[in-house]
Structure 1
């Protein structure tokens, strides 16, 4: 690299450290244009894009770096980091495994693979990977942090406590290690030691909301309610949007005789004209339902319940600090081993992944059997449950999923509320939307059962999912926070969306049928002109290039016009690499920017068919009752079943199954045949209508 380029790179890394990402990215881009394939610049470019929240751009750049440096293990780690940011755990694990194969001593690859295994629920394997990483580098803080969290999940409290103690020794100025240690001590009932750890965290970071909350918990455990109230107030002042803090303070104030708070305001009914405009016939009765009283509660019992659920300790995962902007060294070597006291060389999401478990369902874990064997692990329970669901054994499947969540030692409720039992009438039921968007679309129809049974409910979802999920039923408000909810109400209840099948309707035959997810009528009208001439088919492949290649058979069909439904940044490059990419209509910039699939849900109303792999687009088409073909691999999601060409959940979809996970050649012919058959049917229908028109006209004239 020439001297002026070295100076430019040094300037870019300085800007990167200062958080001036756009300026740094501009220089990185210029350097890569002048000298393509310089891995040190590619690596920095990818990390800057990740830190700027531009995951799609980071993914495309990391893929190019991996293809350009196939023997460089750091290139595979880089690509895995982008997959991890997209929550594609299996694919990220494969990337880290490829890096480990190229360099068995690469610590980053070992502990990042452990993170992915933890995200997949394979906890024992995760610990083994962390052990290996710590053998290679005993001061690898990130590996030690995540091993401690997974040990908590496995119920290995003593081992986890030893890890947190070691972390505090390695980084005595990091308050999060003391906080995590204190949270675990509190959960073990060692409140005095927990208080000492919380105070140590506060000395290092006096404004830590979690530390003040933990102090409040230790005061409450000691019976000092006024001191606990003061600590909870400080925690809530530092972080006013935390529902757990709100509920803890409300209950303390109620116990101490605080005045009753105002009642919950009812959400205003949606504008009638806007609600009714453009509704599908199957949805009109739900949109016009009586909205008054959906949040009206029976008078709450002012007395505290006999047993109050304990507030969960600060989440161990959230107790780990986000990584600071990396201290990049502009010298050539890539990805050095992260050591104590050094800045991590990966973006925050890559260093500290989401390893939280499923929410607790109040369900007893299986007891050891009669011959004294240990009960199955949570992962084994989960796999058994998924098998049961795939085979249509619904009650067994739903029960098993809740049991596997309860068996996970680290599982915590997202809200410190009593779990809804499916029978009582709460003043308000908070339903939490957690997991992949595809599952939220699948289970979202059960919100209608809540509304039909006049159970006051609110769906708590990620902000980006709120616009789409709000279109399921106007009677169920959807929000990303608890604004307007009286958190001191003793009759509030909680349930995860995924528990509603077990609680309300185990057999999908009793679920509301599609279409149950509306599109915005204004958007439907706006995107009508985007439909291409001919038999319009929307395609989505979600990064699976083998499936994309199979779509070439569709492009060769006469009269068929393809529309890409992909919003990923790298989709354009993927299409451009195909022979038929020039025939495909693109969505263009600004698509779905104000919420997941808000525009796509409207556009597919104008398409004749959707052809896709597994994923949210398939569920969206099914929920909208739009005709579609879904390419299914051998290891399919349970909702697609095992062998049939249809699914009980989405009658409008036809399944085309592949025999091999990476070979879609047999699927290509099936997809093409399905599209051709639908095209032929549409032509026949059009011909019948054309010939019938003159007859109808003559009859009308005679009348």
Structure 2
């Protein structure tokens, strides 16, 4: 029956099997799938034992003797044959496994009583000593697994396993439908453990069934040993290792032990890769160009890049016009970061084979790495023209389009990739990242979930899904996914950094600090972790440590801009600078500049000329500020527009002057309104208890969704008799004033404000300013006006924690959310206190 699955029901001998009526129970027939390879006497003995089973069985024999498709393909052929037939379970069985008469019945009974068990395996007894068990389960995962062996008296109890041995496994058909067939990328080694890992990752259990037993002539049915078979085995091990063992899921699922450490796993994987490379090299023939290329790829996978390139060059010397050789060389060069050389190799391959779609695709990847995005898009597009059904090319084109800012086109490209290949994990993951960057969180979350469903140990997908959930306001769920990411990849710094963000968002600052410290230990150059660490330290009032870490913002937030500027300038360290020109650089937001301009007089005291750089909206307000010799507008690209000898970024001044919570320079006021403008607005605003309000900051701020609220939240304040509300709102949020009618008179003046000098003049005429965390808040505080800050639960670092006052602004009072998103509670407190203020001025509250 070479090469064909044989399902026999006539009770004959050899490869044919008997079908019997069940003696007990009412179960449907149990299919038994046997991959057979030579040794017909074993198969006959195996089938004879099946004929004596106490339940109805039907054998499906896939004879690999003349047309060897190996274990995995043979098993899948059998599973497919019975997938739509009337059975609850299927049994896979080696031809050298001889089951006791009630073994199948015992396995069925166990599966019936354990509905969460997807895979069960019996005790495998020694062929010469049936009182000794050669396999009772595996302690840890293949290829580091330790079989449980010993006298049969040690294995009288059923027990959960990490994986079952493919010599005999009963499979629940419902599970097969859910998780699919055995991984076709595995030939015959590790496919059983891989299937068990997949089952467990999808929530199914694997058990040892102690009451089911059979004799196993261990290893006797294996294929003839030769270099080709050895190479297939090692390739299976490598594939399994890369799929499972190099990720954290293995360490989560396996027992603790020295061979579970990342170092031990890496060592074994390297040994396997080297063994594969050596086997391929030993089988090479000088005239076989294809073998040279295959060996080059094997060496590259083993990390032996120079040897791999040598093989490519040898192949090129034998057949210089072989396009694949140049393509392989390009790929190896690309993996080493030699992108210019890779481009040359890919172009040579295309010159030799103009319809070489894969070479065009890989050329596009190399061009993208060189920043040559237009050429990359052209190259990927050509690959798709040649191979329109290549999902990988559509994915790579989408990456290139996204880097060009062509977001809609990139999203369409990812969608096309997953239409062509629904299981392409990278396309789902890349699509999710792009959607998240665009603020389309619901779609991003769905795409991340799809990627994780396809690859449950995708740690990066878990991290980014948790980020999207956090940004979407689903903190508890975000933490669960981040915890899973840490479990999967405990050495992934990004996971610990994200955990810090989540913990801080919940107000658990000390635990957040510990997470950031772990991330930094794993990756000492991780700029984002350092910066987030600084914000957590500053929030806790640990200013000395916080300012030191805060310097990492230059790489974390402003990145290449600040780095390139640093190369062009000499940073000021606080030393006297008489006779020199010092530029104080603008950075971040206008509120930051209004807060930190207080340090300018202290800078001026060190001598020299002080040049202060800021945005145009602040020029009028800061004109004539004490200590500023020259006031200049910051350029759009962030590069200086004046000559200077030294420079310092404005937010570094707190560190340079050693500011602590106790020594914040708070000589208030330090900002003043123009008298003429004040008089103008005095006439406009009139008398009464005038309160300025701001309900939203810049939507470009990363935390704007949490820090901004709606004008509707202020409605209760407008009901307080005698209180007159004036909006100081600018930007898109100002439109809300025309869309919502306050219960009492309200006027938004935002459209009349040309710059912060106008805003300051209005504030000078107000009795109180109530604002979310925006630049107006800093302006009112710096002017010494009464100001109430409306803060989210996860407030910015400068407002510290668990206090209602601010060392930065003595006239400011802080109103904090008691839980994330709880603006109602904040405004209840604000309304009550405002009513008291009104009453103290001889007013009363309506109703």
TM-score when scaled to structure 2?
Answer: 0.36
- The TM-score with structure 1 as length reference comes to 0.43
Relative contact order (alpha carbons < 8 A, sep ≥ 6): 1 or 2 greater? 1
Hey, which of these two has a bigger chunk of strand by percent?
2
